[in-house]
Amino acid sequence: MMSGAIILSAIFMLGGTFFFITATVGILRFPDFFTRLHATGKGDTLAVLLCLIGLAIYEGFSLTALKIVFIAVFMALAQPTATHAISRAALRGGVQPWMKGEKENDSGI
């Protein structure tokens, strides 16, 4: 009953959910803004790509799968761009990066 494509799609979606969980733990636990952005920028990008590829495999060969692949390509371009833009705005705006040995420097702005 379970064909190969469905099992492959389930594996991709479970991997995507795992990386969503790790990104959430990172954004909740890390000590300052730049480390939180490091966790959520890379983890969310990989998780979204894995989830979208899994959904496209489950959908099969159709126009909807093509649109899902287009969303995956767009997210792979847009998510690092957004992370870079918000990180540069924070650095220019005076958010101090956390150094090793300091206490938790969680000032924001």
Partner 1 sequence: MSTFFLTIGLGLCVLVFCVLYRVVFGPGVFNRIAALSAIGTKTLIILLIMGFIYGRVEMFVDISMVYALLNFIGVLAAAKFLGIETEL
> Contact at 8 Å (CB) between 35 and 90?
no
Binding residues among 11-40 for partner 1 as defined by CB under 8 A: 13-14, 16-17, 20-21, 23-24, 27-28, 33, 36-37, 40
The radius of gyration of the chain's CA atoms, rounded to the nearest angstrom, is: 18
- Element containing residue 76 per DSSP (H, E): helix 63-92
Q: In the bound complex, what is the minimum distance in angstroms from residue 86's beta carbon to partner 1?
A: 5
Q: How far is the CB of 82 from partner 1 (least distance, A)?
A: 4
Q: Lay out the site mask for partner 1 across 49-88 (x = CB under 8 A, - = otherwise).
A: --xx--x--xx---xx--xx-xx--xx--xx-xx--xx-x
User: Could you give the maximum distance between any two Cα atoms of the chain, in Å?
Assistant: 58
CA dist., res. 108 & res. 4, Å (int): 48
- Closest approach of Cβ 94 to partner 1, in Å? 6
